[in-house]
Amino acid sequence: MINFIDTVMRESANSLGRALEAYWPTRVSDSCELPERNISLHCSLALANMGFSVMQELAFPGSPQTERLDVLAIAPEHSFALHLEFKSYTYGSMAASLNDLERVKRFSVNRGIDAAIFGKQLVDGVNSINCEVGVVAGALWRSTHQNTVLSGIAQEDFTARVIALDGVVCKTPHMIRRYTPERGRAWDGAYYLYWAAVGDWRSKVDASRRLADPGPVTDGVMTQWENTIHL
């Protein structure tokens, strides 16, 4: 599953990077902000191109209508579901994602859909989903004088919370776009896409984007994908 999620994030970063070759979506400032909806958009496009059914702004079943999930992606044949939240980490802070980790793990597909309204096929498919993975992803600016290894209190808190939830943080982020301006020192650097997963991330996904037969987690997985980011 984590290799698949990483592939999705790489495709998302590449897609957003291509868009940023054509235009910059906000005013230029020293904060290097990148609106988070751009990240969720391109991740949704990547998942849709892989055959997923993708929806945005999902209500939490049994919760107040004001609570929403950024993106829900359902694999072909209702094999598994991804719950995704996105952030733009302005000034390097990941504090805004602490609650998102809890939310993507708490969210679950609505198994109370009325078959008399929506049809037995849809309801049976939703009720057959027994693997749900929460993903939190965000764009973080790194200047040319910084490496991609995270540091700081907000990053340490984020990583600690992922570990406490039995999750995993990506070891290597994906570059979205690099800027090497002739002027404007604040823009001498690059955007990177970081992500973390909680829930059933140890499940395996085959080449057809379907859940593979369950098996033991190998040491190779945790060698490539570690719980910490080596802060």
What is the enclosing helix (H) or strand (E) of 76?
none
What local confidence, expressed as pLDDT, does residue 220 receive?
A: 36
Residue 230 lies in a domain: no
Q: Is residue 193 part of a domain?
A: yes
Tell me which residue range forms the domain holding 117: 2-224
Tell me the average pLDDT of the chain: 86
Position 229 in a domain: no
In a domain, 46, yes or no: yes
Is residue 80 a contact partner of residue 133, using CB atoms and an 8 Å limit?
yes
Which of 83-87, 94-98, 201-205 bottoms out in mean pLDDT, i.e. has the lowest? 94-98
**What total number of domains does the chain contain?**
1
- Residue 128 is assigned to a structural domain of this protein: yes
The pLDDT tens digits of the residues spanning 174-231 come to 999 999 988 877 788 999 999 999 999 999 988 877 787 655 444 333 333 445 443 3
Confidence (pLDDT) at 213: 64
231 lies in some domain: no
**pLDDT score for 100:** 94
What gap in Å lies between CA 149 and CA 159, rounded to an integer? 12
Domain membership of residue 204 (yes or no) is yes
pLDDT in tens, 20-57: 999 998 887 666 778 899 999 999 999 999 999 999 99
Q: Is 192 a member of any domain?
A: yes
Three-state secondary structure readout of 141-192? EEECCCCCCCCCHHHHHHHHHHHHCCCEECCCCEEEEEECCCCCHHHCEEEE
